[in-house]
């Protein structure tokens, strides 16, 4: 069975500082990995995805993530955050043969001025 | 381009009343469809998914049911709501055939049970 762990429930950070949101997964087979962002009272928006190939994936809004197979991680990073990045971020995993994503419990990013 | 619509955006219902939440997708055919629930401060729990008309898979036993009467319509229902049914309900769709396809979400329905 696949599972996703987001180690930090909340990450406070000052504006223009770098940030890393951690995600670890467990699966016995190859996986596909996703990061989503959720602004208050809205649905989830896809930030980026890793399917295969280059382990560094660039997404929207200046975010990027790196797939590390040996550490089974897919951490999300941004070199300089804005107030508007304040939101909930979800890591998700799928594997061949499954029809639905498995989501982590989410990390609330709070950007302070 | 594809769009997904959910309604209503918010709903307040008394305990024991029925429920019907609707979701429709435009701009694609034969999508996979999903219903998730997001409890306050928690992640997403998959409730149902559907690969075609009349084909519904339930992920967790509960007070809710789902139906897919048309290709791009997905309905979440309950005959008698419980307090524990409160939450944020999200509908999503994905392309069929490839496991690496992301899911695309609607804006959600916030359901409060009194």
Q: What tens digit of pLDDT does each residue of A9-65 get?
A: 999 999 999 999 999 998 777 788 999 999 988 889 999 999 888 899 999 999 999
Q: Higher pLDDT residue, B60 or B11?
A: B11
Q: Which residues on B lie below 8 Å from A90 (Cβ)? A: 43-44
Interchain pair A99, B59: CB under 8 A: no
Query: B19 with B78: CB under 8 angstroms?
Result: yes
Q: Report the pLDDT value the prediction gives residue A53, as an integer from 0 to 100.
A: 86
B11-20 per-position pLDDT tens digit: 999 999 999 9
Q: Is the pLDDT of residue A108 over 90?
A: yes
Interchain pair A99, B51: CB under 8 A: yes
Q: Report the pLDDT value the prediction gives residue B41, as an integer from 0 to 100.
A: 66
Q: How far apart are CA A23 and CA A4, in angstroms?
A: 7
Q: Report the pLDDT value the prediction gives residue B94, as an integer from 0 to 100.
A: 92
Interface test with A, best of B102, B107, B108 (most A CBs within 10 A): B102
Query: B33 with B93: CB under 8 angstroms?
Result: yes
Interchain pair B43, A99: CB under 8 A: no
Peptide bond into B8 cis (omega under 30): yes
Give the chain B residue nearest A90 (alpha carbons): B43
């Amino acid at each position: 069975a696949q599972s996703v762990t987001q180690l930090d429930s909340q990450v406070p950070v000052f504006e223009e500082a770098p940030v890393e949101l951690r995600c670890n997964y467990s699966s016995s087979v190859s996986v596909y990995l996703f990061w989503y962002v959720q602004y208050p009272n809205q649905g989830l928006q896809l930030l980026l995805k890793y399917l295969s190939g280059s382990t560094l994936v660039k997404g929207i809004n200046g975010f990027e993530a790196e797939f590390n197979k040996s550490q089974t991680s897919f951490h999300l990073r941004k070199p300089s955050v804005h107030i508007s990045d304040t939101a909930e971020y979800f890591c998700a995993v799928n594997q061949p043969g499954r029809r639905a994503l498995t989501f982590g419990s989410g990390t609330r990013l709070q950007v302070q001025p | 381009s594809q769009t997904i619509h959910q309604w209503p955006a918010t709903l307040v219902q008394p305990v024991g009343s029925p429920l019907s939440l609707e979701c429709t997708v435009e701009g694609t055919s034969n999508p996979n469809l999903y219903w998730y629930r997001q409890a306050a401060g928690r992640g997403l729990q998959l409730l149902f998914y559907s690969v075609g008309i009349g084909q519904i898979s339930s992920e967790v036993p509960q007070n809710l049911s789902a139906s897919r009467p048309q290709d791009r319509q997905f309905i979440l229902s309950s005959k008698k709501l419980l307090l524990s049914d409160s939450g944020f309900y999200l509908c999503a769709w994905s392309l069929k055939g490839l496991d690496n396809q992301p899911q695309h979400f609607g804006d959600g329905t916030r359901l409060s049970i009194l």
